[in-house]
Amino acid sequence: MNTQVSHRSPLIVEKQSGGLGSEENVNDFVEGNLEGKSEVGLILPTYCEAANIQKIISEIESLNLDISILVIDDSSPDKTAEIVRNLQKKYRNIILFVRSKKLGLGTAITDGFKIFLSLENPPKYIVTMDADYSHNPKDLPRLIAAAKRGNELVIGSRYSQGGSVSDWSAIRLAISKVANLMASLVIGAPIRDYTGGMRCYSTKLVKTILGDLHSQTYEIQIETIRQSYLRGFKIKEVPITFANRKKGKSKLTPSEIIAFLSHILKSILLYKRLA
């Protein structure tokens, strides 16, 4: 029988309306068994993923990893959170954090980092991935294995040798390539995929960079690489195939694409002023 433990977590997230640097305290409940101990903590940000969440969690569970799964749901109207609560009755390693509204991928990941670090027994590694089957759960063991070999940030890479993208439009692929080129010019790390979201971080790295993460949306992927590279952490790419979602609608809106590219452009201008 799954014993639920509610834990009030003193999280901080940035207000959408207040702009960067404006913060508020969040006192939502984190639901699930927080007393367990797992080697790996997995963050699954969700918004309207009722069509995918049960299957993808079941597939992750079937891998027999020493893992805790943290679902961060932005009050999905399709009752994604209710499906997760039902899964908690079967699996004791699922944690659920329901936020008050759609707050963005960047804050979901940083909130996930804070929750795992706040546990009495934090995991040794923290993984991020999409819940829509863009990322294949079967790639998780390879990323974790690479982290265990001493790589403190392991990126599931679409653009390194052996990686690929499936079922993307030419426009989406062009946007992704431009974003990665811009990020490479700014940061200069010897990697090919700056924007992929399937990652494995060492907890040591997360503790070090967390205070300097301020992204609200998809630019979190570039920001984490930048902070890791500046501090000399070892970064490794592992090739994966990224597939277009099969069910549900894409959450990447035109406004988020514009904001994402704008963030990179501002970083380039700042970099040139400091050079």
Domain extents in the chain: 5-274
pLDDT digits (tens, 9 = 90+) for 157-192: 999 999 999 888 888 888 888 888 888 888 899 999
Is pLDDT above 90 for 152? yes
pLDDT at 155: 98
Q: What is the mean pLDDT of the chain?
A: 84
Span 5-274: which CATH code? 3.90.550.10
Is pLDDT above 80 for 216? yes
The β-bridge relationship of strands 29-32 and 94-98 is antiparallel
pLDDT band at 71 (very low <50, low <70, confident <90, very high): very high
Q: For the packed helices 170-187 and 220-230, what is the interaxial angle rounded to 10 degrees?
A: 30
pLDDT band at 268 (very low <50, low <70, confident <90, very high): low
pLDDT digits (tens, 9 = 90+) for 112-135: 999 999 999 999 999 999 999 999
**160: Cβ contacts below 8 Å, ≥ 6 apart:** 191, 192, 193, 237, 238, 239
Structural Rg of the chain based on CA atoms: 18
pLDDT digits (tens, 9 = 90+) for 134-147: 999 999 999 999 99
Is pLDDT above 70 for 272? no
The C-alpha atoms of residue 161 and residue 58 are separated, in whole angstroms, by 30
Higher pLDDT, 56 or 185: 56
pLDDT at 81: 97
Mean pLDDT calculated for residue range 70-94: 97
Mean pLDDT calculated for residue range 71-98: 97
Tokens of 109: 């990941």
The C-alpha atoms of residue 209 and residue 223 are separated, in whole angstroms, by 10
The DSSP secondary-structure symbol of 28 reads P
pLDDT at 137: 97
Is pLDDT above 90 for 53? yes
pLDDT digits (tens, 9 = 90+) for 6-48: 444 444 333 333 222 334 433 347 999 999 899 999 999 999 9
pLDDT at 258: 63
